[in-house]
Amino acid sequence: MHAPRLAPTSHTTADGLIDEVRRQLSDGGLRACLLVRDLRTGREIGIDPDTALPSASLVKVPLAVATFERIRRGELDAAAPVDVAPGRSTALGPTGLTRFRHPARIAVEDLLYLSTCLSDERAADALFALTPPARVTAFLREFGIHGITVRHTVDELSDTPVERFDPAQAHLAHALAIDAGTSGRGHRVPQLDTTRANTGTARAWTDLLQELRSPTALHPDVAEAVRGLMLHNVLRQRLTPDFASDATTWWSKTGTLLHLRHEIGVVEHADGAAYAVSVLTESMVPAAAQPGADALMGQAARTLRDHLRHI
């Protein structure tokens, strides 16, 4: 059972609120880096927002940005068919082409849907074959986004210890992920080593969200296309329950890798208010299924958003 969400008031100091949210996350077995930003005023509140963590499937958002930008420039044809080999995955979790048993031919724009909305790893790697990781990073720098680095394709995310254990022993892979890190954020699991993995900070992901909502360097058509995909994200178990309602629009992307659970998104209110939310977490609990952790992430982010909304 989680501690109840704090009700922000004018008497709740930001420092006190952050300490309490950090304590609740820790009690729930989570270390978190998060940032909530009011996109109208620029005010923000967070916990360790400048600490870089492996991006997991969040990397599919910069990939979508780069791909749409190349389509806009005429370098890629959105309707061009791409032959994709089947993923044939039997592990729990993967979706879309990653689970296909037979080859498929799919248009570039449809691969973007599968990669971003279904978090389909095979679709993402088909897009990375068109726009390699280094070029995706170069686009981010061109658009003024620093703090996110794309170093490798998504396929490498599927070659982790969890794939080498029997499903009944998944907790052993998570225990290794938790215990095999170093104080300098190195790790014996390459996908968790911040010097080798795709990485980003909560602040950098928030900067990207802000650019997607109110583009300054990014072309408005590209920003709109990526927002449209994130609006149709089908993975909605983390922050969505705390931000989606009839009076809000919520667009987001999740990322999951071993003990990492992330989500970034923007909540837009009917009164015109809008908040960018980036939550990156590491679980200290060696278990694959942790619905309580997902709920706690949402509670923490909602508490900080409520604080900004009421000051």
pLDDT at 2: 42
Smallest CA-to-CA distance from 80 within 110, 116, 119 is with 110
pLDDT at 284: 83
CA distance 228 to 127: 18
pLDDT at 160: 53
CA distance 230 to 247: 18
Which helix (H) or strand (E) element contains residue 193? none
pLDDT at 93: 72
pLDDT at 290: 80
pLDDT at 188: 55
The predicted-structure confidence for 257-303, as pLDDT tens digits, reads as follows 888 999 999 999 999 999 999 999 998 877 777 888 999 999 999 99
Handedness of CA 237, 238, 244, 249 (dihedral sign): negative
Looking from the CA of 64 toward its CB, the CA atoms found within 13 Å total: 33
Q: Tell me the C-alpha to C-alpha distance, in Å, between residue 46 and each of 36, 50, 304.
A: 6, 10, 7
Quote the DSSP letter at residue 3: P
DSSP the chain: -PPPPP---TT--HHHHHHHHHHHHHHTTEEEEEEEEETTT--EEEESTT--EE-GGGGHHHHHHHHHHHHHTTSS-TT-EEEE------SSS--GGGG-SS-EEEEHHHHHHHHHHS--HHHHHHHHHHS-HHHHHHHHHHTT--SEE--S-SGGGG-SGGGGS-GGGHHHHHHHHHHSB-TTS-BSSGGG-TTTS-EE-HHHHHHHHHHHHS-SSS-HHHHHHHHHHHHT-S--SSSHHHH--TTEEEEEEEEEETTEEEEEEEEEETTS-EEEEEEEEEE-S--S--HHHHHHHHHHHHHHHHHHHH-
CA distance 242 to 37: 16
Query: Which residues lie below 8 Å from residue 9, measured CB to CB, with a gap of 6+?
Result: 310
The residues of the chain scoring below 70 in pLDDT are 1-12, 156-191
pLDDT at 7: 47
CA distance 165 to 67: 35
pLDDT at 233: 97
Q: What token pair was written down for 306? A: 């409520």
